[in-house]
Amino acid sequence: MNFKEIKKKWQSVPAWIKSPYLLATLLFGSWMLLLDENNMVNQYRKWKQLHDLREKQNFYTENIAKTQQELNELKNNPATQEKFAREHYYMKKDNEDVFVIVKTESK
C-alpha cells in the first residue's frame, strides 16, 4: 500500500470518526475503565466485598438478637435455668442418676 492509497482511504473515513474529541474521549474512557486504580474490575471486587460484609452484618445482628433473647429467658425463667444447669453442668436432683454418654470416633 502506498501513501496515495492510504490518503484516499483516510479521506473516505467520516469526519466524526476523525474528530480529536472522539479520540480524547475514547482514550479517557478506556483509561478510566481499564487502567485506573478505581477501574471496573476493582469496583466490582469492592461491591462484592461490600455485599459479603452486609450479609455478615445481618447474620451477626440476627445472632445477637437471638442470644440476647436466650439470655433474657435464662435470667428470668427458673425452668430454663434448671434445663441449662442439667445440660451443661450435669446437675441432678437427689433422687436421680445422671448418665453421660460420650460419642467416640471409630476408624
10-45 pLDDT, tens per residue? 888 888 888 889 999 999 888 888 888 888 889 999
Residue 35 C-alpha from the chain's centroid = 25
Asked if 33 contacts 39 with a C-beta cutoff of 8 angstroms, the reply is yes
Cell digits of residue 90:
450435669
- Phi, psi for 96 (deg, rounded to 5): -120, 155
Place 51 in a pLDDT band, splitting at 50, 70 and 90. Answer: very high
Give the gyration radius of the chain's Cα atoms.
Answer: 36
Cell digits of residue 1:
500500500
